[in-house]
Structure 1
Amino acid sequence: MRANFRMQRLFVTEALNCEQAIEANSDQFNYLANVLRLADGAEILLFNGRDGEWKAQLSYPTRKKILLTPKEQTRPQPSAPDLQYLFAPLKVGRMDYLVQKAVEMGAGVLQPVMTQHVQGKITNLDKLRANVTEAAEQCGILAVPRVEEPIKLKDLLESWPDDRRIIYCDEGDEGQNPIPTLSRIKETRIALLVGPEGGFSDEERHLLRNHPSVTPIPLGPRILRADTAAVAALAVIQASLGDWR
């Protein structure tokens, strides 16, 4: 069942059960009362990443308090997407865009990966997770992707499971078309790795190309920015191996 984009959606942390009211926190109160200016009796969609999506009724028991009462479930909770997105952090504005697009494109796990030429950094995982939640609110997603702690590329590869294939965008690949390479992949569990703006170092490229669970792909004849490459690679993977098939 597709999302209803005519109604506002709000992520909550509480359990969602019919007729069990939830009190909006201060940020939610400000958003609902002062930004959206919703009146008593207005309806809104709630989700928490566990209990599906619910149509809820808003009420003001006092001027400074909002209650959200789930009335009916509009969509059941789907399974979390299995696609993992591994990325070298970018500078703040572009990383926000990258994270939002990864959520929209069906990533189930977001894993920051620290590389030798990385230019961005993760200083606040809570902010990154809030960005993920906001993207899920806006694009109708119910299974909110998990955000992992940053890890060094070498450590990631050393502990990588044998049954999940890493596809990485290699700007040094001589080919232009990723489809033939993707069509030869047999694993159903996939991860995408996108490097930093400065690209992978020679040492990192050697580690990647010699790892048994890693497959490099090209992304055409043009040099793409890291955030553009991420969207392009996610699209071609979802079309070839993922949930667009």
Structure 2
Amino acid sequence: IGRSGGSAVAERQLRPQSAGPDIRLLVPPLKRGRMEWLVEKATELGVAEIQLILTIHTDAQRPKADKLAIHAVEAAQQCERLDVPALHPPVPLPEVLAAWPAGRPLVVAAERAPASGPPPPGLAEVARQHSCGPAGLLVGPEGGFTVSELDDLRDLPFVALVGLGPRILRAETAALAALACWQCLAGDGSVSPPLRSLVTTGAC
């Protein structure tokens, strides 16, 4: 170790690097610190990527990428995660949908049932159909999706509209509720972290 830097040699590997579930979370930019909180909790829940989207009702300034990255790294350290989710800058929703991989289901949280026709199924029903595979979870902004946006989403073959219960949730609540449910039913929610010494183990 010198004044300008130093070097270290790893003597042993305590835990092998492992890939978590390939879950991509699509969310609008949020206001007043809620974006940082969402990134932190989504990282703890094991999301692989966070894509910010711009919708008709999106009403928030573009968050600072470096600040979000710091929250993601700190959250990964807190829950002993060995990787950090990729954070992508805001992109209009139609552009994201145009480039969406056909083989990856996109589960969309619909805040209200349609005016006509059957209500959307619950998230649990859809999650059980896609166990352990790649997936995307999309939630709308404050104010929700417009009717035209929902119609466009409903017409896409890879999209599944789902309900998250009888209450209207804030965007960050909906995102974390959907992510937690998906991890429990179709991800790694049943996997426990390895045992560690009580001296070094922290709460996640």
For Structure 1 versus Structure 2, the TM-score category normalised by the shorter chain is 0.7 to 0.9
What is the deviation of 1:80?
4.9
Whichever residue aligns with residue 18 of structure 2, its letter is: P
Whichever residue aligns with residue 137 of structure 2, its letter is: L
Residue of 31, 42, 57 corresponding to 1:91: 31
Match of 2:109 in 1: 169
CA contact (8 A) 2:42 2:176 kept: yes
* C-alpha distance in structure 2 between counterparts of 1:100 and 1:135, whole Å: 5
CA contact (8 A) 1:108 1:146 kept: yes
Match of 1:104 in 2: 44
Deviations 1:117-158 (A, max 9, x none): 112232422222222111111111101111122211011111
RMSD (Å), alpha carbons: 2.4
Match of 1:241 in 2: 186
Whichever residue aligns with residue 50 of structure 2, its letter is: L
Counterpart mapping for 1:22-41 below 5 A: none
Corresponding residue SS for 1:181: helix
Match of 1:221 in 2: 166
> Does residue 88 of structure 2 align to residue 157 of structure 1?
no
Match of 1:199 in 2: 144
Q: Which runs of 5+ in 1 are unaligned?
A: 1-22, 24-60
> Does residue 124 of structure 2 align to residue 179 of structure 1?
yes
Match of 1:7 in 2: none
Instruction: Tell me which of the two structures has the higher relative contact order, counting C-alpha pairs closer than 8 angstroms and 6 or more residues apart.
Output: 2
* C-alpha distance in structure 2 between counterparts of 1:172 and 1:187, whole Å: 28
> Does residue 14 of structure 2 align to residue 74 of structure 1?
yes
* C-alpha distance in structure 2 between counterparts of 1:93 and 1:150, whole Å: 17
**Shift in alpha-carbon separation, 1:182–1:67, aligned structure 2, 3 A:** closer
> Does residue 41 of structure 2 align to residue 131 of structure 1?
no
* C-alpha distance in structure 1 between counterparts of 2:78 and 2:131, whole Å: 34
Identity %: 39
TM-score normalised according to structure 2 size: 0.81
* C-alpha distance in structure 2 between counterparts of 1:179 and 1:81, whole Å: 17
TM-score normalised according to structure 1 size: 0.68
Which one has the bigger strand percentage?
Answer: 1
* C-alpha distance in structure 2 between counterparts of 1:192 and 1:164, whole Å: 10
